[in-house]
Amino acid sequence: MRKRLTIAAVAVVVLAVVAGGLWWWHAAQRTDFQRAAGMAPPEAERLLWTDWTAVRARVGADDLSTTSAGSAVTTFLDRGFEADLTSTSALVQSAPVLQEKFGFSPATVDWELFSQSEQGAVVMLHLPDGTDFGDIADRLDELGYTRPSSDTGVWSGGEDLLGTIGVDLTPELQFISLDAADGLLFTSDTADYLPRAVADASDGDGAPDELRAVVDKSGEPLSAAVYDSDYTCSHLAMSSADQTDQDQAAELVRTAGKVNPVSGFAMSVQPDHHVRVVLSFENDDQARTNADSRATLAAGPAPGQGGDFTDRFSVGPVTADGRFVTMDLKPVEGAYVLSDLSSGPVLFATC
Q: Which residues contact 182 (CB under 8 A, 6 or more apart)?
A: 201, 202
Burial pattern 157-194, b for ≥16 Cβ within 10 A else e, equals beeebbeebbeebbbbbbbbbbbbeebbbbbbbbeebb
pLDDT at site 21: 38
Sign, Cα dihedral of 311, 88, 80, 78: positive
The 10s digit of each residue's pLDDT in 147-161 is 999 988 999 999 999
Burial pattern 120-155, b for ≥16 Cβ within 10 A else e, equals bbbbbbbbeeebebeebbeebeebebeebeeebebb
pLDDT at site 19: 34
pLDDT at site 240: 86
pLDDT at site 28: 54
Domain boundaries defined on the chain: 32-206, 210-349
Burial pattern 258-289, b for ≥16 Cβ within 10 A else e, equals ebbebbbbbbbbbeeebbbbbbbbeeeebbbb
End-to-end CA distance of the chain: 66
Mean pLDDT of successive 10-residue stretches along the chain, which has 351 residues: 42 34 47 98 97 98 95 97 98 97 97 97 97 97 96 94 95 98 97 95 91 98 98 93 96 96 98 98 98 98 96 98 98 97 94 90
Question: How far is the CA of 222 from the CAs of 111, 204, 293, in angstroms?
Answer: 9, 25, 28
User: What count of other Cβ atoms lies within 10 Å of the Cβ of residue 233?
Assistant: 18
The 10s digit of each residue's pLDDT in 82-94 is 999 999 999 999 9
